[in-house]
Amino acid sequence: MNELTNMFWNEHFRDKNSVKLSKIKRRVYNWLDKDNFGGFAVDGNRFWIEKTCSTATLPNYIYDYMNKWAKKKWYQSIYTI
């Protein structure tokens, strides 16, 4: 895993049982728990989201959430260029 993927996991789901997750974080966690997320691929400060397989779907609310989070870390999605 790369640094951005590690940051995402550590900030959001380090200890999912002891931290009360917000509604959106719970939905994102449930999607991630189904092994859909391969990780963030990074090239400089640009990133894209990799899924585990071609049949995995990425709902818009998760795409939007991950983009907003990464933007706060000074990364830019290749899909918005």
- Which pLDDT tens digit goes with each residue over 7-51? 888 887 776 654 567 888 888 888 888 888 889 999 999 999 999
> Where are the chain's structural domains?
3-11+21-80
Model pTM? 0.80
Q: pLDDT at residue 54 above 60?
A: yes
**Range 52-68 average pLDDT:** 91
What is the DSSP secondary-structure string of 43-77?
ETTEEEEEESSTT----HHHHHHHHHHHHHTT-EE
Tokens of 1: 């895993």
* Ranges 15-19, 35-39, 55-59, 77-81: which has the least confidence: 15-19
